[in-house]
Amino acid sequence: MQKGGIIISISNNKGGVGKTSVTCNLAVALSRLKKRVLVVDMDHQCNASEILRMEGVPPTNTIYELLDPDSGHAGNVSEFVYPSRQSNVDCISNIEESSALDIPLAKASPQSFTILRDKIRRFCLKSYDYTLIDNPPSIGLWLTLSLYASDFALVPVDAGSGNSLDGLRRVLEMINDIRTAGNSDLKFLRLLVNRVHMRLSVSRQIVKYLQERLPADQLFDTNVPSNTAIQKAEFMKQTVFEYEPTSRAASAYRQLAKELVTITNGANTLEPADKE
């Protein structure tokens, strides 16, 4: 594995494609392969923080304090890391108030674009096999910070909605722009087709469209099925492994984790994102 660890941003311009569900469930699936995983919650909705947070352990140091230009915090990044309920999975939590950082971080741009990278990258590569960054449903400042800190971008799309494909080109263009502008480590990892229901024509059409349009090395072989276990788990603020570990969705995430490990073991051979 390159550099001792890998940092992956999970992103899509469209909301409702299951980014947080993918982040949390993939983290747990990787941990069950004996990988040490850190989840960084960059979404102001804080759903990943709620799903992973250990009860009775409210974080006092969050993304807000880590990225606030006026905080003056010079402590170790480990002070921001909290254990989750899952063995081998830790989390840097977020709070809604972090949205207030948009203006000061924007005013400090472009220097601020590397603030997350400067704060966490060395620590993550040394301390974890995988760092997964959950991002808000937009192409903007927070995704920029995440991509500057990352080795790869994983893009989920919802097989139940053709609208989830609309922002794909913009995400790929942004990956290439940031790779050119300052993060030469960044590559497009794979597109993940999420919420697949092959009995529905829209799912079949979207899967077929992607298989025909994308090279095989830009699309995960594993699809995540539409499964009520995931929806119920999210309602309960749990991963599917906690709620229903024998479900089809849990099985798919186990397979996805194995595929991800295989792909990233050959990480140096992956190509940059294709703008086309």
pLDDT digits (tens, 9 = 90+) for 37-50: 999 999 999 999 99
Topology (CATH) of 2-269:
Rossmann fold (3.40.50)
CA 188: distance to chain centroid? 12
Extended beta strands in the chain, E state: 6-10, 37-41, 82-83, 89-92, 130-134, 152-158, 187-194
Q: Are 241 and 29 in contact (CB under 8 A)?
A: yes
pLDDT digits (tens, 9 = 90+) for 17-68: 788 999 999 999 999 999 999 999 999 999 999 999 877 667 789 999 999 9
The rounded distance, in Å, linking the Cα atoms of 248 and 227 is 7
Confidence of residue 1 (pLDDT cuts 50, 70, 90): very low
Element (H or E) spanning 102, and its range? helix 102-107
Two tokens, residue 259 = 């595929």
Return the number of other C-beta atoms located less than 10 Å from residue 8's C-beta: 20
Task: Give the ranges where 155-272 is alpha helix by DSSP (H).
Answer: 168-181, 201-213, 228-235, 240-243, 248-265
pLDDT at 267: 60
Task: Give the ranges where 32-75 is alpha helix by DSSP (H).
Answer: 47-52, 63-67
pLDDT at 64: 94
On the question of pLDDT at 269 being above 70, the answer is no
On the question of pLDDT at 276 being above 50, the answer is no
Note the pTM of the prediction, 2 decimals. Answer: 0.90
